[in-house]
């Protein structure tokens, strides 16, 4: 059980988490709706168009992760069985990660604009963009999502949320990104090969590079 200072920190963090998730998902919803309206006459690609392995992988990771986070926000005692005793400064790091995910989410979505896609597949009219976080990272939306949920797990001091965040990260890295990049290579060819050579998948490369045209428009998960 958590009590005293830990209980106060938990209450404050829950409000931070609720607010950050609400704002982040609202931003995402806004840009997704704008993108749909901008391509009303195009055939929309839905997640149900993906192969069964991809659909099952999303369900088996996303559902437990979201349920764990929402259970914690509603009533922390429901998730107390997975509580970790972490130093206060670590809790602070988790809080900072959750807060940082909000402006990062806006930066990513505003950089994509109407170039938003919810699946691993490229769509008609998919563009290459050359500004925002895609200048350095090919899949910053996944990076930001992982930061948000890892921050949730660390701030909540909850092993279950941390574990499923790591499982989700591994699934995205091993299953989702390779299929997305195969689609993007088929669509954009040498331009995307050059882009891959100078950018990182989820984090910027350590070596410096000149600004170049770049970006995929994936927003799956």
pLDDT > 90 in the chain, percent: 48
The pLDDT of residue 210 is: 45
Q: What are the backbone dihedrals phi and psi of residue 210, each rounded to the nearest 5 degrees, phi first?
A: -80, 150
Q: Judge contact between 106 and 27, C-beta under 8 A.
A: yes
**In Å, how far are 20, 77, 198 from 98, measured between CA atoms?**
7, 21, 28
The pLDDT of 130-148, averaged and rounded, is 92
The pLDDT of 175-185, averaged and rounded, is 88
Higher pLDDT, 13 or 46: 13
Question: Where are the domains positioned within the chain?
Answer: 4-198
Q: At what angle do helices 52-74 and 4-38 cross, to 10 degrees?
A: 140
pLDDT higher than threshold 50 for residue 203: yes
Taking only the tens place, the pLDDT of each residue in 41-80 is 555 555 555 667 777 877 888 899 999 999 999 999 999 9
Pick the CATH number of 4-198 from 3.10.560.10, 3.90.230.10, 1.40.20.10, 1.20.120.1630: 1.20.120.1630
């Amino acid at each position: 059980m958590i009590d005293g200072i830990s209980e106060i920190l938990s209450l404050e963090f829950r409000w931070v988490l609720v607010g950050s998730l609400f704002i982040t998902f609202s931003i995402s919803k806004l840009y997704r709706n704008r993108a749909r309206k901008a391509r009303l006459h195009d055939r929309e690609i839905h997640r149900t168009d993906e192969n069964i392995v991809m659909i099952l992988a999303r369900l088996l990771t996303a559902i437990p992760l979201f349920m764990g986070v929402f259970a914690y926000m509603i009533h922390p005692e429901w998730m107390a069985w997975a509580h970790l005793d972490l130093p206060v400064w670590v809790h602070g790091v988790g809080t900072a990660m959750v807060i940082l995910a909000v402006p990062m989410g806006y930066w990513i979505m505003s950089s994509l604009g109407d170039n938003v896609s919810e699946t691993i597949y490229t769509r008609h009219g998919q563009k290459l963009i050359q500004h925002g976080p895609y200048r350095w990272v090919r899949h910053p939306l996944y990076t930001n999502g992982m930061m948000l949920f890892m921050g949730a797990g660390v701030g909540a001091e909850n092993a279950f949320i941390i574990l499923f965040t790591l499982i989700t990260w591994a699934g995205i890295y091993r299953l989702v990104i390779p299929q997305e990049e195969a689609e993007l290579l088929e669509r954009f060819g040498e331009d995307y090969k050059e882009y891959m050579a100078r950018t990182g998948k989820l984090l910027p490369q350590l070596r410096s590079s000149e600004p170049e045209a770049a970006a995929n428009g994936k927003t799956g998960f």
